[in-house]
Structures are given as C-alpha cells and as structure tokens.
Structure 1
Amino acid sequence: MNSRNQSYVVYVLLFIAIIAMVIYSFSQNATTSGVLTINQLASEVQNGKVARIVTDENKLTVTYKDGTQKSATSTKETGATLVDQLTALGVTSDKLSPDNVEIEIKPPSAWLGVATALGYILPFLLLAGAFFFIFRQAQGSNNAAMSFGKSRARMFTGDQPTVTFADVAGVDESKEELQEVVEFLREPQKFIQLGARIPKGVLLVGPPGTGKTLLAKAVSGEAGVPFFSISGSEFVEMFVGVGASRVRDLFDQAKRHSPCIVFVDEIDAVGRQRGAGLGGSHDEREQTLNQMLVEMDGFDTDTNIIIMAATNRPDILDPALLRPGRFDRRVVLDRPDVRGREAILKVHSKGKPLEPVVDLGVIAKATPGFVGADLENLVNESAILAARRNKTTIGQSEFEESIERVIAGPERKSRLISEEEKRIVAYHEAGHAVVMNSLPEADPVQKVSIIARGMAAGYTLALPLEDRTLTPKKKLQAEIIGLLGGRAAEDIVFDDITSGASNDIERVTQLARSMITRLGMSEKLGPMVYGQKEELIFLGREISEQRDYSEQVAEQIDGEVRKLVNESYAKAKDILKEHRDKLDAVANRLLEVETISREEFEKIFPPPTPKRSGTPTYAS
C-alpha cells in the first residue's frame, strides 16, 4: 500500500469516527426528550393515567391511556423490581392490577454487553488505527530515505521478449558480433568447458538513433534472460557516494539473477575521462566510475553477466573503461546504407496498410543519411498524413511528403509574403537548382519549391544516386558552389542581395574552413590538420580549439578560406550568366505552380552531363 492510499484510509477512519459520535449524540438526545422520574411515574400510575409499562433491564417505557397514545421514558433503580419501587412510593396494589396497568418485562439481550463494550472500545480502536497508519507512512518515508543508495535499474524478464533480432534491421554485422553473446547466455557451459572467456563488456557505439538501445534489448530477448536497464545519469546525485552505492547494488542484483544482461545507456554520463574536471560534482562522477571499474574487474568466468553500454561519444570515455577485461569489445552501429534503410522501413511498416504501388526501395534511396529513428518517424508521419487525408491506406505521396517534413519541417502555406518577396525567393531557389544541375559533381535536383517549410522561405532538394562513404574534393566544391547559387541569382537578377542566404553562407563558411583545416584540401597549406579540438568537461558542452599554429598560419588559413568561397561564388555567377534563360524559365514556373518536381525541372533544363553519386544537399 503506497503513502497515498494510506492517507485515504486514515481520512476514512476519521470520518467514520466523527459520524459515530454524531449518531451517538443524537440517540442520547432522543432518549432524554421524554424522561420521567420514578416519583412522577408512581403518581401517574396512582392516578390511573398509565396504560402500559415495558421494562427493559433498568429502562422503562411508559404508554399513556388518555386518548392520544404517547410514550415517555423512565429509569428504575438497579437491584429492585418495578412493582416494589412503585409500592414503596405509595401506589396501591389495585392500581397495579392487570386491569389498570399492563406491565411487560423483557428478557435481557444477549448483545447488550457486546454493544456496551463496543461503545467504549470502538472509538479507541479507530484512534489506534489512525495512529498506526500515520506512523507506518512516516516509517515508509524513512525507508525511502534509507534506500537512497539503491539501484534504480528497471528489470525486464526474458520470459516473454518484446524485441528480438527480427525487429532490428540495417545492422547485420552488429547482430553477428552479438550472436556469440546470445549463445554464451544460452549455453555458458559450452564455452566454460573449453576455457573460453566471453567478453565481460560490450560497448555499442554509433550516432544517435542508430538503434543501440534496441539492439541491447534484442540480445536480451534472443537469450531469454533478465535485462537490467539504467541510464548513466541515474547513478549520479548531489550527495557524494550515492552513485558508487547504486553501482554496488546494481551488480549485487545482477549476480542474484545470473545469467543476465546489465545495460547502461549513455554511459558517457559517468564514464568520462578522469582528472579533467575542477572538482564539485565531478568528484562524485569519478567515484561512481571507479566503483564501476572495480565491479567489472571482479567478475569471475562463471558469473554469466554481460555488461552492455551505449554511447555516441566513445572518444571521451576513460581508457580504463575500454581496456580488455572490462569493455573489451566494441560494436559500431553506423548509419544504414540503402539496403539497410529498406530493411528498416519494412520492419516499421509491418502491420500498416500500404498501397500496392508503394516502393520502399525508392523511399530508401530518397533518404540517404537517415538513421533508424528517422525512418521510424518517417513511417509514422506518413501514417498520420494519410489519416488526415481521410485515407484507409498509406500511399507513395504520403511517404514523399513525409521525407520533406522530416528534413525541412511542415509546410507553411498560410504564410503571407508580398509578390516582390515571392519573386526573390523564386529566383533564389532557381539559382540553387540551375547551378547544381550544371555541375557534374553535384547531386541531381529532386524538387524545387517556394513554399515555406520550417524556418526556410523555400528549398531545393538534391539527392544522390547512391550512397558514398568517401567525399571527393570536387564534390565538396560543387556543394559550396550550389549553396552560393541562391545569393548569386539575387545579385544578378535584382542587383541586390537579401538576408535569405544567411543559412547558405553559414554552411558554406563551415564547409570551406573544414576543408582547409580538417581535411587537408588546401594546396598552399598542405595535408595537415590545424587546431586540435578538445572538450572542456567542467563547462558542459563547450568545446575549445587548441591553437597549435602561428599567427602567420592563421592568416593563411583565413586567406585560403576566403579564396575558396570567393572563387566558388564567382563560379556560381558565371554559370547563372551562361544559363540566364534557364534561370528565368525555372523562376517563372515556380511563380506559377510553387513546386517543381525532378521530371518537370529536367524538361526545362536537361542536365548537361551525367550526375555522379554523393551525399544529399538541402539548400534553403
């Protein structure tokens, strides 16, 4: 019974006690309203006014015979009969004859003693019950305070698994890595007899949304063993030593339920590299990490406990946590390729009514860079959109619309802009599209629209023909030129520039500086990395860059970045001047229909050269 229910019980008991006292008070008032003294009763009997007297123990109920029947109550003396008392008070024997007055004597009630006892005992019982629940509630609060150092891990039994490897797609290599963990948990003796030591810890590494937690649950579901799930941040509290206590309690629970899996999500919350903070809460984090290292190192080969952890930042974890004997196996979950995305779409669309014309392969090709969480959101958005359109099935158009919603946000058709601004936006997006279509290294344009989405007044969507892991220098330069196409079109057509290219310029600057300082794509500066990034842990997410180059090199970096951006801008203007007729045609068509598909765009401006594959480009 929780504290809330206990409070309800106390209130109910107090209410019953109050009602009982009120009822008892009314009954007392009712009995004392028509009371006669024994002397008055004797006088009434002597005068012949009494018709009937009922004796119940010492209580007398008197009924008169004066035409209107009325009753009164009297009480006789204990230890004497009613007749003796009335005779002693002067009532003659003829007045007590059956002809004058009828006297009825009731036998004593068997429940009278019980009722009398309850009348005295019940109030005390109610008060005792109220005090009992109050003290029990206080004791429960004390127990909650004493259990402050207990583990908050949630335990899931493996009897009825909700997630198995069949529910995880797009990470075939990772599933193969974890298959031997499943086999060890199912048949540990097969490995122990040969002297094999299964990895004590498995670290799942990958970008957010790639399915690290889902894969850990699938391992538990396949093995059919208990699964303890806890977040790294749940160990650390404001009191020093609580995190270490919770770690000990967690591992004690795991040993009692062996074989089992202990899954620590976002382990970087407590597993950061030690000695990098400035005291305070970081001391508590270090103690928690130290206790975790001790517990993991103390496992025997026959403990049958697998520690699984997930993080998207393995670079900041403490080296002692990653050494063999602790987290000695690292499973990387990367962004899925086109086949993986198609498999993930099949998993999430299972049970949903899709139209026969829906091709998940086409949708997978149109979603490069999407992770499992993005694809799940995509399918859900498609189902919501179909329901809003009062459809019973999900069609290809809903999936295509949902892709744009996930990338850029929902459409804002109600946004009112002037005709002049609409014309500027049309030429801006047409500039992106024409420049991208003219470059062989750029991605093919899939859609151009001047309908506002999210924070963008319009957008140009270019998707690659196939996935690529490596990005060539020419592809990055083409992306910079394409992003600058919108600003170049404004400059050429209106002889003025607007703030609409702010996001494009920001992305161009970051990409150009990354090419020069991180990727070694500058002929003047050579294949070197300039500046080492490091995180200031005690300042949260703030990241500083350690400057390991001189002021002269800094000037050269700025010059190379400026040169790359200026040359790309000039290239974009040259392309638009060469294809000014195509720029006008695309912009005018956008002013008419607001959105142009890939087929309609290529009718206006066929691509001069075959397109190559690459990463997707989204220009606003």
Structure 2
Amino acid sequence: MNDNDKQPGPDNGGNGNPWMKSLLIWVGILMALALFVSLFPSGGAQNAGTSIPYSAFLDRVEEGSVKDVNVAANVITGTQSNGEKFRTYAMNDPQLTQRLRKAGVSITARPEEGPSIWQYMLVQALPFLLFLGIAFFVVRQMQKGGGANGAMGFGKSRARMLTQKEGKVTFDDVAGIDEAREELQEIVEFLKDPTKFARLGGKIPKGALLVGSPGTGKTLLARAIAGEAGVPFFTISGSDFVEMFVGVGASRVRDMFEQAKKSAPCIVFIDEIDAVGRHRGAGLGNGNDEREQTLNQLLVEMDGFEANEGIIIIAATNRPDVLDPALLRPGRFDRQVVVPRPDIEGRIKILQVHMKKVPLAPDVDARTIARGTPGFSGADLANLVNEAALMAARKGKRLVANLEFEEAKDKVMMGAERRSMVMTDDEKRMTAYHEAGHAIVSIHEPASDPIHKATIIPRGRALGMVMRLPERDSYSYHRDKMYANLAVAMGGRVAEEIIFGYDKVSSGASGDIQQATSLARDMVTRWGMSDAVGPVEYAEPQGESFLGYSQSAPARMSNKTAELIDSEIKRIVEGGLTRARDVLTEHVDQLHTLAGALLEYETLSGDEIKRLIAGEDLGRPTDGPTRPVVAAGTSIPKTRRPQGPFGQPSPAGA
C-alpha cells in the first residue's frame, strides 16, 4: 500500500454510510407527513350518506321515516327506515330534540373533538423547527471544509485528487517522448529520495512547465510522474480558478495549496495554465482584475515568503508565448520541458502501446503505419488504432488487419468517403485527369515526396485526392522541394487545360492555388528565397497581438516593396505552372493511362501507379484492359506558351 491508498475517500473518513443517511432522511420526511395529516380530522362520519337540506330532514322526521340520528357539532347524520343513510347541517333549533323524541327517533350525540396536546405543540413548534433546520444546514455547509460544490464552497479549490484506484500511470505507458521523460525523471528521484540531492545543497524544483501541441501527452506525462513517485496527484484546469467575482480565484488558489500542504510531498497539475497565467496589463482595454488577482496569488504561493516544501507544480500549455514573464522565471517554473510531436521511432512505440489492447492480424506492421503518419501526435495515433478497431468490428472481423488501418488512416487524414455523392461522367473524367496530373508531375519531380495513394472518391470537401508521404521525418525544407511542391500543386489545373481546353478549366484547383500562393508568399516574405526581395522578413507576425510586443516584428514595408513582393509571388507560382505544363506535355500518354486506371479502379496505391507508368500489369481483376479516356486519334487541344512574364494563355484552338 502506498500513500495514495491511505487517503480518505468519499465513503470513509468519518462521513458515515451515505445509504443509511438517505434512509434516515426519508423516514423523517414520512413521519413529518404523517403528523401533518393527523392534524386534520378524517371526516369519515361527515362524508357518510347523501347530503339533504335541513327542511327535507324535518319533513322526513315528521313523516316518521327517520330511524336514528347522530348529532356531532353542527352535522347530523342518520339512517332512514329503508336503510338509506343521509347527512345534513343543523341550525340553532332548540325544538329539534323534542321533534325527534316525538317521532321516536333514536338519538346519539358526539362531543366536538379538538386537537390533542401533541398536535397543538407540533403546530406551535413548526416555524421554530423549520428555522432550526435551515440554520443547521447552513452551518453544516460552512463547516464542511473543501466542499467546492457546497452552498458555502464558493472560494474552495476545485482541484481533484487522483488515487491509484483510478488507474496508475507510469513511464512505461508514455512512449515516443523520451527526451521529455528524461527531463522529468529527476523530479521523480527528488520525490523518492530528497536527501540524495540535499547532501550537495540541491533543492527540489518548484515547478515544471510542459509545452507542446495538443495531444502530445502532457497530461499523461504528469500523471506518470505521480505514478512513478507514488505521491498524491492533484489535477485542476486553469479555467477552474477564474470566476466573474473578483477574489474568488485567489481564494481557490490559497485553498488548493492548503490542501496540497496536508498531502505533501505531492504534485499539483494545472492544465491549460494560459487561462489564468496570461500576460498582465495586456489588451486594448482594461485588464481582467479577477484573472490578474488569481495570477498574483499563484505567484505568491509558488515563490513567496512561505516555502511550500514538497509541493511540485506541473503545468501544461500549448501557448507559452502568452504567459506572464513572472510566471516563467526560475524559482517558480524552474524547467520548461518541450513535449514535441513524435518522430517515426516515437510513433512506432506509441502504436505498440495502443496496439496491445487490440487483436491484430499477422499483416499489421507498426513501422509501416508509423511511416505513413508523419506529424501525428500521440492522441492522433490512439484515435487511428481505435478507428481501425471500429471498422473491423463493423465488418464482423475478429482481428484488425492492415486493410482496416489503411482505411482508418485515409479517414483521419483525408476525411470519410462520400460514396453517396453522385457525380456525372464528365465530372468523373475531369476529376480523374486532375488527380492524374498531380500524380504524373509528382513522379517526374525528383525532389517531390513519393505518392502514397491517388483516388477519385470524394472525401471531405475534395472530389479526389493525391496523397504523398515523406520517406522520413523532415525538419526543414529545401528550395528544390518547394519548387517541386509548387509544380505538383499546379499539375491538376494544367492537366485540365491540356486535355479539355482553356475554356473548360474548372474551379477544382482552388485549394491547389491557395496552397501554392501560401507557399510562395512564405518563400518571399519569411525565408528570403527571392533574389529581388532579398533575405528580409516582411511577413506579418504570427500569434496574437494583444501582448504589446512581438518576438519577430516585420520590417516596415513601402508601397514599392509591396508591389515587388506581389510580383515575386506571382512569378514563383507561375514558374510552378510552367514546370507542370512541361512535364505533362512531355508525358501526356502517361496522363491518359493513369486517368483511365483511376476511372477503372477509383483508387490506386503508389506502387500500383509506378507499375502502371512502367507498363506493368496491376494484378487486379478487371473486365478488360485499362480503357483510355480519350479515344485514339483524337487531337489534344494545344495552348500557346507564354513568352517572358506569364500572361493569360490563348483559348484552345482546333
């Protein structure tokens, strides 16, 4: 048993059995209802028989049809000679008794019953008991201590302590971020054996800031630290501190540290700390007083006059640029640990962790899947494995095969297939040539990434897609690869123009044009890859502008420079257009072959495209050879090549 197992849970620690409490409450409610009902007479005697007027009652007495009567207060009930019961309300009639005796009616009387002494005392004491109940409830809520959701828990901390019963996480469950794990391993050693470092004058770190993109495993890494060290782990979100009332957040910070001191040594994990730790005094208007007071209290608690020995603050954010400098200095967050997206080796380890829970077919290779998922975070890979398992379950399979992983990868990266979307034959032909244009240019550009898959099945907002995957993780891009990407992006539009003519170019290349323009703009304004503009940054600063400063302020730009930048962007994009036209004009036969195969099979892998271009058989069952899309002997429309600066091409002639 470790320290976490000794913490009192909600079912122990002097709070009693909640089932027994509920039973006692319901018993008390039922007893109160019974006493309340008993205050009122049942009225059983009054409700017996048919109600008749008093005059009719006197007539029946004179007729001798009344057998007996029962007089109680102002109500008279009785029985007639025929056995029928009746009741009436008596008046102040002093001669009624004589009339009844004269008619020979049997008379019984019942005195008026008043409330008992207990009922009278209960009625008098009800308001006082109600007041005492309300006062007891309020006092109990005030003395609850730590009840953040109670009536008086407005300023209580909302931090939740995770115990080993909720799932212990260790470093074995964290894969793909070895550098970040090694950075935090020392904190675990501090918590396990602080005297080892105290002998040499070392002090335990006050805090560690985990910085990384969403889904990279920052929260999992923090839980692994607590699981390895075997200490209590408090978790809270930065947004749980801030309320609309000034001072509430600061009160919650104080209460959180009070709870942590009682469980020291412990770890307090603050997720999304940028919600409370933003730069103070920033913004166009007045600052947020509540958030700034909360931040001030957090700064004092982390490094004030009182040393919080044994309390380690671990925070996570994906926006370190907006945090207040006072929060980042040593003494508060001594370490800033970057949790990056995993490389291919890291993705292999992450996939192996998640694949342990899934029955796999023999053809599943984690390295192949990792190679095809560059840029995926740990959460993305977990989602990929889950999608593959769901697809296999929908098909009724007992094992998850490589086919399901490929389909899940396509769904995550390109969107779900829209097979219900009806496309005309002309639209299919246009899409097939468009995607074939991308693929042919990519094959003949040496610096381009290899093709992974080409499809004309609509996915997401695209009618078709050519997916390229790098052979290895890339951390920088060279000029030749950028020019190759520009040519590949323009390959679809050029293919439409060559095959269908200038007037038949569609709007399907809008996304390609946007991608090429964005790349060319970065080349000119950020990366200094234009000889005319030079190695000067003219790009707008990325990120939010409320900080009042920017880490990379752009150079001041004149109108002449802006015109030069626009002309250079246009020149670079049109250079990619020219390269794509040269490639497709030279290899137009391959364009026809690949477009026909896409119409025949709808989806082709990268290896199949290579075999098809080389003239080999794809090995797929088909009714006949791949049919060309344009009949043999049909003349291909020509476009006039631009001379000098790129201009509008002339309409396609016969």
Q: For 1:13 and 1:481, locate their aligned partners in 2 and report how far apart those are by CA, in whole Å.
A: 85
Q: Which amino acid in structure 1 is aligned with residue 487 of structure 2?
A: I
Answer whether contact 2:455 2:598 (CA < 8 A) is retained.
Answer: yes
Answer whether contact 1:165 1:222 (CA < 8 A) is retained.
Answer: yes
Spell out, residue by residue over 1:27-73, the C-alpha distance to the aligned partner (whole angstroms, 9 max, x if none): 5659999xxxxxxxxxxxxxxxxxxxxxxxxxxxxxxxxxx9xxxxx
Find the counterpart in structure 2 of residue 576 from structure 1. Answer: 584
Q: For 1:40-439, what aligned pairs fall within 5 Å after superposition? A: 144=150, 146-157=152-163, 161-280=167-286, 282-298=288-304, 303-439=309-445
Query: Are 1:456 and 2:473 matched, yes or no?
Result: no
Q: In the superposition, relative to structure 1, how do residues 255 and 594 fare at CA in structure 2: closer, same or farther (>3 Å)? A: same
Shift in Å, 1:130: 6.1
Answer whether contact 1:429 1:459 (CA < 8 A) is retained.
Answer: yes
Q: In the superposition, relative to structure 1, how do residues 135 and 525 fare at CA in structure 2: closer, same or farther (>3 Å)? A: same
TM-score by length of 2: 0.74
* Larger relative contact order (CA 8 Å, sep ≥ 6): 1
TM-score by length of 1: 0.78
Answer whether contact 1:276 1:537 (CA < 8 A) is retained.
Answer: no
Answer whether contact 2:538 2:554 (CA < 8 A) is retained.
Answer: no
Q: For 1:530 and 1:520, locate their aligned partners in 2 and report how far apart those are by CA, in whole Å.
A: 9
Q: For 2:31 and 2:613, locate their aligned partners in 1 and report how far apart those are by CA, in whole Å.
A: 84
Q: For 2:443 and 2:24, locate their aligned partners in 1 and report how far apart those are by CA, in whole Å.
A: 72
Spell out, residue by residue over 1:110-156, the C-alpha distance to the aligned partner (whole angstroms, 9 max, x if none): xxxxx966665666788776665566667788894643222211121
Q: For 2:22 and 2:515, locate their aligned partners in 1 and report how far apart those are by CA, in whole Å.
A: 55
Which segment drifts farther, 414-423 or 552-561?
A: 552-561
Q: For 1:538 and 1:241, locate their aligned partners in 2 and report how far apart those are by CA, in whole Å.
A: 24
Answer whether contact 2:157 2:256 (CA < 8 A) is retained.
Answer: yes
Aligned residue for 2:541, secondary structure, equals strand
Q: For 1:334 and 1:159, locate their aligned partners in 2 and report how far apart those are by CA, in whole Å.
A: 30
Spell out, residue by residue over 1:428-484, the C-alpha distance to the aligned partner (whole angstroms, 9 max, x if none): 111111111111111111111111111111111111111122211211221121111
Q: Which amino acid in structure 2 is aligned with residue 508 of structure 1?
A: A
Find the counterpart in structure 2 of residue 604 from structure 1. Answer: 612
Answer whether contact 1:14 1:130 (CA < 8 A) is retained.
Answer: no
Find the counterpart in structure 2 of residue 25 from structure 1. Answer: 42
**Runs (5+) with no aligned partner, structure 2:** 1-17, 51-82, 84-114, 144-149, 616-654
Shift in Å, 1:196: 0.4
Shift in Å, 1:9: 8.4
Q: In the superposition, relative to structure 1, how do residues 448 and 15 fare at CA in structure 2: closer, same or farther (>3 Å)? A: farther
Query: Are 1:469 and 2:475 matched, yes or no?
Result: yes
Q: Which amino acid in structure 2 is aligned with residue 521 of structure 1?
A: M
Spell out, residue by residue over 1:221-248, the C-alpha distance to the aligned partner (whole angstroms, 9 max, x if none): 1111111111112222222222222222
Aligned residue for 1:230, secondary structure, equals strand
Spell out, residue by residue over 1:550-569, the C-alpha distance to the aligned partner (whole angstroms, 9 max, x if none): 22222221111111101001
Q: Which amino acid in structure 2 is aligned with residue 203 of structure 1?
A: L
Find the counterpart in structure 2 of residue 527 from structure 1. Answer: 535
Shift in Å, 1:4: 12
Q: In the superposition, relative to structure 1, how do residues 198 and 238 fare at CA in structure 2: closer, same or farther (>3 Å)? A: same
Spell out, residue by residue over 1:192-222, the C-alpha distance to the aligned partner (whole angstroms, 9 max, x if none): 2332012211011111111111111111111
Answer whether contact 2:279 2:547 (CA < 8 A) is retained.
Answer: no
Q: For 1:5 and 1:279, locate their aligned partners in 2 and report how far apart those are by CA, in whole Å.
A: 55
Q: For 1:490 and 1:137, locate their aligned partners in 2 and report how far apart those are by CA, in whole Å.
A: 77
Q: In the superposition, relative to structure 1, how do residues 283 and 557 fare at CA in structure 2: closer, same or farther (>3 Å)? A: farther
Q: Which amino acid in structure 2 is aligned with residue 25 of structure 1?
A: S
Answer whether contact 1:186 1:223 (CA < 8 A) is retained.
Answer: yes
Which of these residues, 500, 503, 507, is aligned with residue 494 of structure 1? 500
Q: For 2:553 and 2:28, locate their aligned partners in 1 and report how far apart those are by CA, in whole Å.
A: 63
Query: Are 1:560 and 2:568 matched, yes or no?
Result: yes
Q: In the superposition, relative to structure 1, how do residues 30 and 204 fare at CA in structure 2: closer, same or farther (>3 Å)? A: same
Query: Are 1:592 and 2:600 matched, yes or no?
Result: yes
Answer whether contact 2:322 2:547 (CA < 8 A) is retained.
Answer: no
Aligned residue for 1:149, secondary structure, equals coil
Q: In the superposition, relative to structure 1, how do residues 381 and 397 fare at CA in structure 2: closer, same or farther (>3 Å)? A: same
Q: For 2:23 and 2:282, locate their aligned partners in 1 and report how far apart those are by CA, in whole Å.
A: 48
Q: For 1:523 and 1:394, locate their aligned partners in 2 and report how far apart those are by CA, in whole Å.
A: 53
Q: Which amino acid in structure 2 is aligned with residue 391 of structure 1?
A: K
Q: In the superposition, relative to structure 1, how do residues 584 and 9 fare at CA in structure 2: closer, same or farther (>3 Å)? A: farther
Shift in Å, 1:282: 2.6
Q: Which amino acid in structure 2 is aligned with residue 392 of structure 1?
A: R
Q: In the superposition, relative to structure 1, how do residues 597 and 125 fare at CA in structure 2: closer, same or farther (>3 Å)? A: farther
Aligned residue for 2:268, secondary structure, equals strand
Indicate the structure with greater helix content.
1
Find the counterpart in structure 1 of residue 107 from structure 2. Answer: none
Answer whether contact 1:426 1:590 (CA < 8 A) is retained.
Answer: yes
Find the counterpart in structure 2 of residue 512 from structure 1. Answer: 520
Q: For 1:562 and 1:9, locate their aligned partners in 2 and report how far apart those are by CA, in whole Å.
A: 83
Q: In the superposition, relative to structure 1, how do residues 566 and 555 fare at CA in structure 2: closer, same or farther (>3 Å)? A: same
Q: Which amino acid in structure 1 is aligned with residue 298 of structure 2?
A: M
Q: In the superposition, relative to structure 1, how do residues 280 and 256 fare at CA in structure 2: closer, same or farther (>3 Å)? A: farther
Answer whether contact 1:192 1:301 (CA < 8 A) is retained.
Answer: no
Find the counterpart in structure 2 of residue 478 from structure 1. Answer: 484
Answer whether contact 2:246 2:290 (CA < 8 A) is retained.
Answer: yes
Spell out, residue by residue over 1:316-352, the C-alpha distance to the aligned partner (whole angstroms, 9 max, x if none): 2222211111112111111111111011011112221
Spell out, residue by residue over 1:247-282, the C-alpha distance to the aligned partner (whole angstroms, 9 max, x if none): 222222222221111111111122222222134453
Which segment drifts farther, 181-190 or 167-176?
A: 181-190
Q: For 1:310 and 1:591, locate their aligned partners in 2 and report how far apart those are by CA, in whole Å.
A: 49
Q: For 1:198 and 1:141, locate their aligned partners in 2 and report how far apart those are by CA, in whole Å.
A: 37
Q: In the superposition, relative to structure 1, how do residues 125 and 498 fare at CA in structure 2: closer, same or farther (>3 Å)? A: farther
Q: Which amino acid in structure 2 is aligned with residue 206 of structure 1?
A: G
Q: In the superposition, relative to structure 1, how do residues 245 and 127 fare at CA in structure 2: closer, same or farther (>3 Å)? A: closer
Q: For 1:396 and 1:187, locate their aligned partners in 2 and report how far apart those are by CA, in whole Å.
A: 46
Q: For 1:432 and 1:8, locate their aligned partners in 2 and report how far apart those are by CA, in whole Å.
A: 74
Aligned residue for 2:514, secondary structure, equals helix
Q: For 2:127 and 2:227, locate their aligned partners in 1 and report how far apart those are by CA, in whole Å.
A: 52
Aligned residue for 1:567, secondary structure, equals helix
Q: In the superposition, relative to structure 1, how do residues 590 and 306 fare at CA in structure 2: closer, same or farther (>3 Å)? A: same
Q: For 1:141 and 1:485, locate their aligned partners in 2 and report how far apart those are by CA, in whole Å.
A: 70
Q: For 2:45 and 2:137, locate their aligned partners in 1 and report how far apart those are by CA, in whole Å.
A: 37
Q: In the superposition, relative to structure 1, how do residues 456 and 129 fare at CA in structure 2: closer, same or farther (>3 Å)? A: farther
RMSD over aligned Cα, in angstroms? 4.1
Q: For 2:123 and 2:37, locate their aligned partners in 1 and report how far apart those are by CA, in whole Å.
A: 11
Answer whether contact 2:268 2:312 (CA < 8 A) is retained.
Answer: yes
**Runs (5+) with no aligned partner, structure 1:** 34-67, 69-114, 608-620
Answer whether contact 2:162 2:234 (CA < 8 A) is retained.
Answer: yes
Q: In the superposition, relative to structure 1, how do residues 396 and 283 fare at CA in structure 2: closer, same or farther (>3 Å)? A: same
Shift in Å, 1:189: 2.6
Shift in Å, 1:597: 1.5
Q: Which amino acid in structure 1 is aligned with residue 253 of structure 2?
A: V
